[in-house]
Amino acid sequence: MYSKLDSPVYHALNEFHEKFCLHFGDTQFYTPEVAAFGGSAHVSGEKDITAYAKSCDDFLIFGAKPKTEQDLSRLVCDQYVLEKTIALDYTEKIIQLKEKDYEELFAFIAKFYPYYFKNRTPELGRYFGIFNEGKLVAVTGERMQMNDMTEVSAVITDTDYLGQGYAKQLVAHVSGKIQEDNKTPFLHVAESNAGAIKLYEKLGFRHRGKIEVWGIKR
Q: Which pLDDT score, from 0 to 100, does residue 60 have?
A: 97
Q: Does residue 132 surpass a pLDDT of 80? A: yes
Model confidence band, residue 218 (pLDDT cutoffs 50, 70, 90): confident
Ramachandran quadrant class, 35 (left: phi over 0; alpha: psi -120 to 50; beta: rest):
beta
- What percentage of the chain has pLDDT greater than the value 90? 96
CB 38 within 8 A of CB 30: yes
How is domain 80-210 classified at the CATH fold level? Aminopeptidase (3.40.630)
Q: Does residue 34 surpass a pLDDT of 80? A: yes
Model confidence band, residue 190 (pLDDT cutoffs 50, 70, 90): very high
Q: Which pLDDT score, from 0 to 100, does residue 124 have?
A: 98
What residues does each domain of the chain span? Answer: 3-76, 80-210
Q: Does residue 201 surpass a pLDDT of 80? A: yes
Q: Does residue 161 surpass a pLDDT of 80? A: yes
pTM of the shown model: 0.96
Report how far apart, in Å, the C-alpha atoms of 213 and of each of 7, 71, 122, 193, 203 are.
11, 13, 22, 15, 25
Q: Which pLDDT score, from 0 to 100, does residue 57 have?
A: 86
Average pLDDT over residues 162-175: 97
Q: Does residue 96 surpass a pLDDT of 90? A: yes
Model confidence band, residue 1 (pLDDT cutoffs 50, 70, 90): confident
Q: pLDDT, tens digit, for every residue of 51-88?
A: 999 999 899 999 999 999 989 999 999 999 999 999 99
Q: Amino acid letter at 63?
A: G
Report how far apart, in Å, the C-alpha atoms of 108 and of each of 103, 116, 136, 212 are.
9, 11, 7, 27
Average pLDDT over residues 112-131: 95
